[in-house]
Structure 1
């Protein structure tokens, strides 16, 4: 694969697989080299598998696993990290191999090793199970990136402790690192590394600059040195890397200027501004109209004063990138902008108002309507979580109810793609204090459950116009005691709905709903299968100060009584 685009990842790949003395080659290798956005979003993947099992079972397992991985990896959401995508795919492949071995006697005991390499952007990722290996040759030094999964056996060599098809649970090893131009990666079966010492393999790789020639030389040399196994090698050369920070094609928009402040009647790239929808500290939202087709859209950009702020620019670009991938009726959809002259992106516009605007206008929400809206909101959140995205600012201001009756979640500005985030990457402040789970005030890692807590607060607020622990102001350090029951303000709220809300906004994360689907099921079952009322906390937990006041008062009374007795 030699991509002519100098701003894209450029690679050269060669492969070879020889049968050797055996009648059947149970190794299998392959690679996939997409182009354009798929290359930027998913990268290039190469894999080697060494099948085990009687008759044709080993070859079946190896070929199906590699082919399945190369195809299905690209079908996973772009927002997933590489390890999650590969783990999800290999888990399904493992189930197939085990099931197939159980159905066909000829395939009994079949399994396979798997070593996969993904190169995306300026980083590499390895996924490995079994005793195939992945090496990296850098500046003349050959380093093995994987650890063999084998048992020590006094009579047999390379008895696998882990493999695809060996156990119902797949335990893959994952690793990653930075790429450099002129890096060379080698994926080999044990028919190569088990015969050739590392030093000899390094010499072969250095003596053969073309990856195809290097792969062919390694496999041939392994058999020439007395190898009795199949010999397979894939060689990947890194010829060029994309610019630092390039995540996708949207990054090219980073150099665009910000539009000046627009007013109704102004035009931008042929779009006519009709209304300023939102004027925040960093961002601006306008309702615009395309005069060619009459379509009304939302244009989102940064405040003119943010010009040159690389962090804000990157955040807006990543917000558009995420929004493009959330294809769901519960979210505004990104509309392609033709020949942008400035930094902004476009979304569909929908007549209606946010839930907070409806509350502010005096709208009353009956319990049945709140349940309907709750189910829709949680389906929207579930769609995000399936993409490994956490919204981080679910609140009534960010939930829009259209005139068409459809609920839509707004503003992915502080959302995080968990699979894309590096462990040491700062997460920044997110959320509105009254909707934030108690543990968020200690700044833990973002979790999908935090969106579910916020959804519970939204439903609570729609019913009562209050918050379960009282309103929390910014920069306040709140004290979470006992929740206030919603029937305190709305006695007509059904008991089963109150129990659901109290569970959703429980102080302890372990007592809340674990998934959006579980929350939805509770709402849909309603009174037919009500949840038990949450147990009230002991006074010592609920209000320790009050407890000590009571103890002190009792102590004073007791001491007074004892004093009277002694004075008699």
Structure 2
């Protein structure tokens, strides 16, 4: 079931010479409605300066268009904040370039409805109300000075300051809810009681919106009067659940062999056969090669594994980059089993190359590191944490292009994760904080990238190999130059910084580590050596102090008896 609602809007000029308000209601098509939701807003241009109408219109147009262009992997609040901050910078820049527009600014109150939830963004003195079970509640706070003579003066608005703070809030929708966004020309003239009365008087949102704005003008509002009214008829399922519901009913295919047919694809090779999943090389009727990923038939009743596969497909579809294999878009009608198909690339993983005895050079590892960090940087910008970076998940194609594989355990705020998958990475590549129960973040990916480079150079692990279910103790990492003395200091220092035990000592972002690799020896980083007293455990120094004390006492005793 998808979200069903009705919306009405109205904006009247009133006694003003022109209308400086701007209202928008965006209702996308069903697939986009499930992912991004519906967006409604009211922007009220500040009339104290020139360009209020232009600020309101451009802000509303920019925000409503750019929001739907943000990556699907971003949370609603993150996406709204990005586009609102960009709109604020545009208004400021436009005012600085055109002296006649100095002081242009606008308020903005925005509501996004998706699935079972709403998210609001607010700055200024436009307001958002909610009518639930005949009770009216104001959901926003006016950003005006708390003085009787300055309550019309805004403290916050789009275009007032480079540092813009936006209020965000979210909550659950209920059938029968009515949400109202009004400019100050409406609420200041009517008051909450009249707004409540109007919402109870009419049944359709359009009639309510028209009544509110006309009534405000009739009661002598000196400003423009604008309103957007939304009535919730039924709520949808929460985000991806609705979109993936049909796929849950697809059965898993029986185990396939070379030559087997499945939905127009022919199996040419079994690439990987693990306890949970199977990867087949397949070709379509045109002879093009692809990779088909599905689950073991025994996992047919494992709802969490099936959902994880669907989530992996959904996430991978939204990563459009040469750094990862691309997903072949297949409709529900084109497949009769639960699987997904991605592009095939000739080559081998870095682990396969290690197993085959390949010797990685310094320049080769530095170049791999740069390509890997470019891929991680792209994923992190999409708000995706890979969580399992290692040589087995890094593919180097015959076209010399590096690709990051397996988003099966990737972390993204838009996707639910099973509880048992809190930190599902490979132990030897997991950062120390993960063993303390912290959730993986970008720093954990950077750590794993550093361990990967270390392993390619030395075939060892900086803190020793960590076995599953082991609780390792992290001391000082063994420098890679101990195994390969020819490793240059600049490359060693970059790796050591990436694999630092404390997150504060690592690179902050993938871009920072990439820049260090690109600069290389020309702008090398320094890693201070840890003093002996810091490297040794405290208990050793305590015993040393005790021994020293005993020796001194013995010397004093010998001195007296002599």
TM tier relative to shorter chain: over 0.9
Tell me which residue corresponds to 2:552.
558
SS in 1 for 2:551: helix
Matched, 1:69 2:78: no
* 1:99 pairs with 2:121: no
Q: Kindly state the Cα deviation for residue 422 of structure 1 after the two structures are TM-superposed.
A: 7.8
CA distance in structure 1 between the partners assigned to 2:45 and 2:417 by the alignment: 35
Instruction: Determine the structure 2 residue equivalent to 1:273.
Output: 267
Query: Where in structure 2 are the equivalents of 1:19-98 lying within 5 Å?
Result: 19-54=13-48, 56-98=50-92
Q: Secondary structure at the match of 2:150?
A: coil
Counterpart among 356, 359, 371 of residue 366 in structure 2: 371
Q: Which residue of 1 aligns with 2:404?
A: 409
Q: Distance in 2 between matches of 1:70 and 1:230?
A: 21
Paired residue for 2:183?
189
The C-alpha deviation readout for 1:339-392, integer Å capped at 9, x for no partner, is 211111011111222111111111110100000100000111011011111101
SS at match of 2:466: coil
- Does 1:240 pair with 2:222? no
Q: Is the 8 A contact 1:22 1:229 kept in 2?
A: yes
1:292-332 CA distances to partner (integer Å, 9 max, x unpaired)? 11111111112212212222222111110110011111111
1:317 aligns with 2:301: no
Contact 1:14 1:215 in 2 (8 A): yes
Give the Å deviation of 1:225: 1.9
For the Cα contact (< 8 Å) 2:49–2:103, is it kept in 1? no
RMSD of aligned alpha carbons: 1.9
Residue 198 of structure 1 pairs with residue 192 of structure 2: yes
Query: Kindly tell me: are residues 386 and 550 of structure 1, through their superposed partners in 2, closer, same or farther at Cα, counting changes over 3 Å?
Result: same
TM superposition shift of 1:87: 0.7
**Whole-Å Cα distance in 1 between the matches of residues 540 and 393 of structure 2?**
38
Q: Describe how 1:110-121 pairs up with structure 2 within 5 A.
A: 110-121=104-115
Q: Partners in 2 of 1:563 and 1:390 — Cα distance?
A: 65
Instruction: Give the C-alpha shift of residue 115 in structure 1.
Output: 0.4
Aligned partner of 1:336 among 329, 342, 346: 329
- In the TM superposition, what are the counterparts of 1:201-350 in structure 2 within 5 Å? 201-244=195-238, 246-247=240-241, 249-290=243-284, 292-337=285-330, 339-350=334-345
Q: Matched residue of 1:558: which SS? A: helix
Measure the CA separation in 1 of the matches of 2:538 and 2:221: 74
Tell me which residue corresponds to 2:347.
352
Check conservation: 1:191, 1:222, Cα contact below 8 A. Answer: yes
Structure-2 change in CA distance of 1:558 and 1:470 (3 Å): farther
Bigger drift between 28-37 and 377-386 goes to 28-37
C-alpha deviation, 1:421, in angstroms = 5.6
Q: Which stretches of structure 1, 4 residues or more, deviate above 6 A after TM superposition?
A: 422-426
State the 1:539 CA deviation: 2.5
Structure 1 pair 333/167, CA: closer, same or farther in 2 (3 Å)?
Answer: same
| Cα distance in structure 2, aligned partners of 1:140 and 1:496 | 68
Measured at CA, do residues 557 and 273 of structure 1 come closer, stay the same or move farther in structure 2, by a change above 3 Å?
Answer: farther
Aligned to 1:4: none
**SS across alignment from 1:48:** strand
* Residue 436 of structure 2: aligned partner: 442
Deviations 1:125-184 (A, max 9, x none): 101111111111122222111111111123232321111111101211111112222221
Tell whether 2:157 aligns with 1:163: yes
User: Measured at CA, do residues 100 and 542 of structure 1 come closer, stay the same or move farther in structure 2, by a change above 3 Å?
Assistant: farther
Does the aligned pair in 2 maintain the 1:121–1:247 contact within 8 Å? no
TM-score by length of 1: 0.94
Inter-CA distance 566–285: structure 2 relative to 1 (3 Å threshold): farther
| Structure 1 residue 188: Cα displacement | 0.5
Q: Is the 8 A contact 1:48 1:115 kept in 2?
A: yes
Q: Which residue of 1 aligns with 2:117?
A: 123
Q: Deviations over 1:17-46 (max 9, x none)?
A: 112222122211112111032222211111
Deviation at 1:560?
3.2
Unaligned runs of 5+ in 2: none
Structure 2 equivalent of residue 383 of structure 1: 378
3-state DSSP of counterpart to 2:149: coil
Range with bigger deviation, 255-264 or 405-414: 255-264
Partners of 1:333 and 1:98 in 2: CA distance: 39
Contact 1:437 1:453 in 2 (8 A): yes
Displacement of 1:477: 1.2
Of 507, 510, 532, the match for 1:513? 507
How far 1:534 sits from its partner (Å)? Answer: 3.0
Measure, in 2, the Cα distance between the counterparts of 1:424 and 1:403. Answer: 36
From the superposition, tell whether residues 133 and 510 of structure 1 become closer, same or farther in structure 2 (CA, over 3 Å).
Answer: same
For residues 459-508 of structure 1, the C-alpha deviation after alignment (integer angstroms, 9 at most, x for no partner) is 01100111111111111111111111000000000011111111111111
How big is the shift at 1:424?
A: 12
Counterpart in 2 of 1:3? none
Give the superposition deviation at 1:244. Answer: 5.0
Q: Which runs of 5+ in 1 are unaligned?
A: 1-6
Instruction: Say if 1:163 and 1:535 are closer, same or farther in 2 by CA, change over 3 A.
Output: farther
Normalising by structure 2, report the TM-score.
0.95
What secondary structure sits across from 2:42 in the alignment?
strand
